Amino acid sequence: MVSLVNVPVGKVVIVKGFAGGRGMVMRLMQLGIHPGDRIRVLSVAPFRGAIFIENLTSGGKVAIGRGIARRIIVDYV
């Protein structure tokens, strides 16, 4: 298992859990990211910018910061 920030562009991973507080977990769930979801990394903004992901389970696309991405624990499919 690795952090989402370490996943290369184009790879599909499964969200295993979150390493953060209740507020962060609630925010991710509001964005549509839940444990068990399949996520694909679409692109990474330059200069340590945001990570653009697509939730293959729900079909949503969202950009998240690296600080939050570092706390999303994923596993390769």
Tens-digit pLDDT profile for residues 6-56: 999 999 999 999 998 999 999 999 999 999 999 999 999 999 899 999 999
pLDDT of res. 29: 93
pTM value is: 0.91
pLDDT average, residue stretch 50-66? 96
61: domain range? 2-76
CA 11/CA 48 separation, integer angstroms: 19
Q: How many domains does the chain have?
A: 1
CATH number assigned to the domain comprising residue 34: 2.30.30.90
Beta-strand relationship, 72-76 and 2-3: antiparallel
